[in-house]
Amino acid sequence: MKFRDLFFYSPRAEDDFILDEPSAPSDDYVPQMNEGGPELTGNYRKDKAAFDKEMEKDLNGDLKIREFTVRVGGREAKCAAYFFDGLVDKNGVNDFILRPLMMGSRTTEARSYSDIMNVLLVQSEVKETNNLGTLAFDINFGSVILLIEGYGKAISVDAKGWEHRGIESPEVEKVIRGPNDAFSEQLRESTALIRHLVRNKSLISREFAVGTISQTPVSLMYIKNVADPQLVREAERRITSLDIDYLFSSAELEQYMEGSSLITLPQFMATERPDRAARALLLGRAVVLVDGSPFAIVMPTTVFELNESAEDHYLRTPYVNVIRLIRLMAFLCSLLLPGIYVAVVNFHGEILPTDMLISIVAARDKVPFPTIVEIIIMELSLEIIREAGARVPTPSGTTLSIVGALILGQAAVSAGIVSPILIIVVSIAAIGSFATPNYYLGISARILRFGYIFLGAVGGFLGITAGLFVNVVLWTCTYSMGVPMFVPVAPITKGGVPKTLLYPQIWKQDYRDDYVNPLRRKKQQSARGWKNKEN
Amino acid sequence: MSGGKKIGPASTAILFLNLSMAKYLLVLPYFMVSEVGNSAWLVILAKGIAAIGLFLVIAALYKPYVGLGLGQLTRRALTGPVGSVLNVIIAGLMLVRGGVLFRILTEALQTLETDTVTIEYVGLFVLLPVLICAMKGFNANVNASILILPFTVLSVALISLVLIPHYNIDNLMPVLGMGEGKIIEQAFFRLGGTFELIYLLTLSRSMADYGTFKKGGLIGVGAIGFFSFLFTLIYCLSIPYPVSKNFFFPLYQLTRMIKAGSFLQRMEPTVIFVWTGVIICALSTLVISAAELLKNSVDIRQGGGFVPILVMMIFFIGVLPRSELDTYGIYRITVNISHYFYIGVIFLVLICARLRKVERGLTYETA
């Protein structure tokens, strides 16, 4: 044993997690979609044995093999159908694959092997291949693989039909006026939901398989003559360059694709709403969907878009502008209010009306801790309750809320641990983070809040100013797919600032944002034609 | 210090405005009132018009060299050590200016914090953001300026509005104050905005083209002229002479005068902290400009290494103790010579560049 082994855990060879036979090179064991793997020989017995080995027949309990005979060219040929239980639609397999082959081949005789594909199998997606790697890939995607004696090739028949959640209402982005369907975990369903809204041949859906082992289907969607080709190329480059074993969610993909990982600001917008994704596409953005994840990633995005809610586009202009302002204030409260409270109590008491200052001082009279300790106790308690609330089952949630409210509200004040005014400050900050439409932006505010509390305690308003300045500098230097996060304000783009400050009427939104370099800048022209005298 | 994309005219104007506002609105009324009494607003107006004229002349001469920046142009026009030394001198003057801005700010901030707060403690909160901003580069600085400027303008507007009850037209009388001779001397013989021009020429390397330089600069000079005129006018209107020449921080004095409903008066510290943001921006621009000049003096491609050193130098200049030659003393010496020095340097470099036929549009990287 080496000296360093006393300090570092080093697993023995037999403890290692081995994915394949030790003799195989570690990178080659995974069947790739298009890689040149072993080929079928044309000998049914040998091919079947090879495919059994490829699919680990003895180990895989859910691998089903149905062996039967099929009549081809006037003679009986052995046939084996391979599929994974649960990945295929069993009724479809029985009715449209096994029945035509076992019974139909005897009534409607297949003169040659090609007749099996052309006459007997009525499925929409049927292909033949002799590559074992491709067959293994297909079977994992819900295909039935048919090995037929004397054919020399295998037939892959698409029969996917696993159990999954249907299209449901959005959980995170609820709206009052607007469509109420959300993406599901099924990639195809999600892309179809977008296609249902953008019925145009220019809507492109590029497909990629990400993850050397998981081979997760990822779809990059854009509108060909609207989206900037450079944006599409960059998105494609970032997706195809990923060298990872697995990918389960768009949230993971987002982290792989973002530029700055340490900045708290989210660099993409995640949405579960097909209408929001479709709108983004029509505005020149690209949308990425990942199989198994009900959230689409919209790229590029800006910090102002992160402050938009899904409903903004369905509300009338005056309502949107007021609501956006309230939302901004909520975000700022969430970010700064506890820090400002500490700064005011410690340094700038003169900013408060005298009566209020006296009442704060009187309330704090019984509290044994300095303000910073008091506020950190409260903030941590709140974060613990929030975290617990996210984990507990719904029925226990009510109990948790009551306990939380009692502990945080009544008991902590009665025990003299915190002052009543602090409860108000912490509550407003917490509610502010919930009012932030983007979940990540809300978390960002919650994390940074602790920094501002510290700065407020050590430097008063000056500390908060310094912190804000650094925050602004770092955030404005963050890019989403090459687009600055604070565009169109910093840097300024033509006509961008007024549009950001005041949401214009829907019929005045004639142009797409120039910072995404759309191929079609104009979105609408004389949107309200009935206002023109000629009409 | 990272490079970045070229900026447009609006960003140029805002950057210029921000870095000028730091000085003009903090101390300019004090300097002007000390020299010409309560007709300072008239001097500022005349100075603004003169500055626009001067800018147009220099912009026309500088047209071919926008992509180069002053640092490279100096090196090319005045080859050898002369250009390098000149760049170092300008960088040094920038640091003196930075030091005095830092000193003014920290002294103003000290009055808002508790009595025991030292200048070093306040300085930490000012210079740390300056360091980070300067390290992030010019574009970060421009973006921060854009976000801070609206608050600055709002704070000036707020002060202007709530001080209306204090306005007294008699405070401006006599209009010519200490006499027209003094006004003409201040307005036209001590040119204003020369230092800002040096900034603009140094940073022109990051501007998209000549149009950006000219348009952005013109808007910037015009806007700063307007704001400093407005602010000085408000100051002169609100505070009678000779009381007005006693306040070294006119802005702070004005905010303390706010009595509208007593609540706004309580907001006085927040206004000061908006200005802190402006000065942090101005200081980081100074550091970036100085680093750019030093970088060109020693022919290296990255000037980021200079940034921490320059920030420390600003700190040490800013905290010079009140003795025979303190921060303000150094500043007074430099400010008296700088009016003619800066304008002389600009014209010398431009004439030499024309005579030596410095290649147009070339950048250091492509040369």
- The string of pLDDT tens digits covering residues A343-389 is 988 888 877 878 888 888 888 888 888 889 989 988 888 888 888 87
Winning range, highest mean pLDDT, from A22-26, A398-402, B112-116, B198-202: B198-202
Q: What is the complex's ipTM, to 2 decimals?
A: 0.84
Under 8 Å CB-to-CB from A415, ≥6 apart: which residues? none
Residues of B within 8 A of A459 (CB-CB) are 125
Higher per-residue confidence, B31 vs A98? A98
Chain B contact for A357 (CB, 8 A cutoff): no
The percent of residues above 90 in pLDDT, for chain A, comes to 36
- The string of pLDDT tens digits covering residues A422-478 is 888 998 998 898 888 898 999 999 999 999 999 999 988 889 999 999 999 999 989
Tokens 């037939």 locate to A155
Winning range, highest mean pLDDT, from A514-523, B158-167, B354-363: A514-523
Q: Do A490 and B266 touch (CB under 8 A)?
A: no
Higher per-residue confidence, A499 vs A108? A499
- Between positions 470 and 529 of A, the ones with CB within 8 A of B are 470, 472-474, 476-477, 484, 486, 489-492
Question: Could you give the 3-state DSSP secondary structure of residue A186?
Answer: coil
Q: How confident is the model at residue A120 (pLDDT cuts 50, 70, 90)?
A: confident
Q: How confident is the model at residue B362 (pLDDT cuts 50, 70, 90)?
A: very low
B9-355: in CATH 1.20.1740.10: yes
d(CA B133, CA B287): 10
Round the average pLDDT of chain B to a whole number and report it: 77
Among A41-50, A308-317, A406-415, A448-457, whose mean pLDDT is lowest? A406-415
Q: What is the mean pLDDT of residues A265-282?
A: 94
Q: Do A473 and B139 touch (CB under 8 A)?
A: no
Instruction: For residue B94, give the nearest of B293, B248, B300 by alpha carbon.
Output: B293
Residues of A within 8 A of B276 (CB-CB) are 462, 465-466
Quick one: how far is CA A86 from the chain centroid?
A: 25
Residues of B within 8 A of A502 (CB-CB) are none
Residue A26's pLDDT is 39
The conformation of residue A522, written as its DSSP 8-state character, comes to B
Exposed e or buried b for every residue in A316-346, given b needs 16+ CB within 10 A? eeeebbebbeebeebbebbbbbbbbbbbbbb
What residue ranges do the domains of chain B occupy? Answer: 9-355
pLDDT for residue A504 is more than 60: yes
Chain B contact for A328 (CB, 8 A cutoff): no
Which residue of B lies nearest to A482 if distances are taken between CA atoms?
B5
- The string of pLDDT tens digits covering residues A163-179 is 777 788 888 888 888 88
Cα-based distances in Å from A508 to A125, A317, A497, A530, B283: 46, 11, 15, 14, 41
pLDDT for residue B359 is more than 50: yes
Which residue of A lies nearest to B270 if distances are taken between CA atoms?
A461
Q: With contact defined as beta carbons under 8 Å apart, do A30 and A133 qualify?
A: no
Which residue of A lies nearest to B9 if distances are taken between CA atoms?
A492
Count how many residues are written for chain B. 367
Tokens 């027209």 locate to B180
Q: Which of A357, A469, A479, A487 to mutate to test the interface with B (most CBs of B within 10 A)?
A: A469
Q: What is the mean pLDDT of residues A149-155?
A: 87
Residue B137's pLDDT is 82
Which residue of A lies nearest to B276 if distances are taken between CA atoms?
A465
Q: Do B269 and A461 touch (CB under 8 A)?
A: yes
Pairing of β A296-299 and β A63-72 = unpaired
Query: What are the strands of the beta sheet with A154-158, ordered from one edge?
Result: A63-72, A75-84, A143-148, A154-158, A126-129
Exposed e or buried b for every residue in B14-29, given b needs 16+ CB within 10 A? bbbbbbbbbbbbbbbb
d(CA A157, CA A143): 5
Residue B258's pLDDT is 61
Q: What is the mean pLDDT of residues A93-115?
A: 82
pLDDT for residue A131 is more than 80: yes
Among A339-348, A479-488, B81-90, B112-121, whose mean pLDDT is lowest? B112-121
- Between positions 72 and 131 of A, the ones with CB within 8 A of B are none
The conformation of residue B242, written as its DSSP 8-state character, comes to T
A442 min Cα distance to partner chain B (Å)? 21
Residue B255's pLDDT is 65
Burial class for A313, CB neighbours closer than 10 Å (0-12, 13-18, 19+)? middle
End-to-end CA distance of chain B: 21
Residue A208's pLDDT is 92
Under 8 Å CB-to-CB from A285, ≥6 apart: which residues? A222, A227, A231, A298, A299, A300, A301, A516
Phi, psi of A398 (to 5 degrees): -65, -45
Q: Look up residue A250 and give its amino acid.
A: S
A21 min Cα distance to partner chain B (Å)? 49
Residue A464's pLDDT is 92
Q: How many CA atoms lie within 13 A of B365 on its CB side?
A: 5
Tokens 């976000």 locate to B147
Among A108-112, A501-505, B12-16, B120-124, whose mean pLDDT is lowest? A108-112
B267 min Cα distance to partner chain A (Å)? 6
Q: With contact defined as beta carbons under 8 Å apart, do A159 and A81 qualify?
A: no
Among A185-199, A399-413, B194-208, B251-265, whose mean pLDDT is lowest? B251-265
pTM confidence score? 0.82
A440 min Cα distance to partner chain B (Å)? 22
Q: How confident is the model at residue A116 (pLDDT cuts 50, 70, 90)?
A: confident
Cis peptide before A484 (omega within 30 of 0): no
Joined together, the tokens standing for residue A336 give 């700064």
| Bridge partner list, A210 | A216
Cα-based distances in Å from B266 to A453, B238, B278: 22, 19, 21
Residues of A within 8 A of B266 (CB-CB) are 350-353
How many CB contacts within 8 angstroms connect chain A with chain B? 100
Cα-based distances in Å from A322 to A304, A326, A489, B252: 15, 6, 19, 34
Q: How confident is the model at residue B115 (pLDDT cuts 50, 70, 90)?
A: low
Which residue of A lies nearest to B262 if distances are taken between CA atoms?
A353
Among A83-97, A234-248, A354-368, whose mean pLDDT is lowest? A354-368
H or E segment at A107?
Answer: helix A105-107
Residues of B within 8 A of A348 (CB-CB) are 112, 269
Q: What is the mean pLDDT of residues B2-20?
A: 71
A152 min Cα distance to partner chain B (Å)? 60
Q: Which of B12, B17, B125 to mutate to test the interface with A (most CBs of A within 10 A)?
A: B125
H or E segment at A158?
Answer: strand A154-158
CB-closest option in B8, B122, B267 to A492: B8
d(CA A46, CA A114): 22
A475 min Cα distance to partner chain B (Å)? 9
Which residue of A lies nearest to B14 if distances are taken between CA atoms?
A492
d(CA A229, CA B48): 47
Higher per-residue confidence, A209 vs B271? A209
Q: How confident is the model at residue A230 (pLDDT cuts 50, 70, 90)?
A: very high
Residues of A within 8 A of B273 (CB-CB) are 461-462, 464-465
Largest CA-CA distance found in chain B, in angstroms, rounded: 65
Q: Do A473 and B122 touch (CB under 8 A)?
A: no
d(CA A113, CA A118): 9
pLDDT for residue B34 is more than 90: no
pLDDT for residue B39 is more than 90: no
Q: Look up residue A334 and give its amino acid.
A: S
Q: Do B125 and A463 touch (CB under 8 A)?
A: yes
Chain B contact for A380 (CB, 8 A cutoff): no
A200 min Cα distance to partner chain B (Å)? 36
B233 min Cα distance to partner chain A (Å)? 28
pLDDT for residue A255 is more than 90: yes
Among A91-95, A301-305, A447-451, B77-81, whose mean pLDDT is lowest? B77-81
Cis peptide before B250 (omega within 30 of 0): no
H or E segment at A377?
Answer: helix A371-391
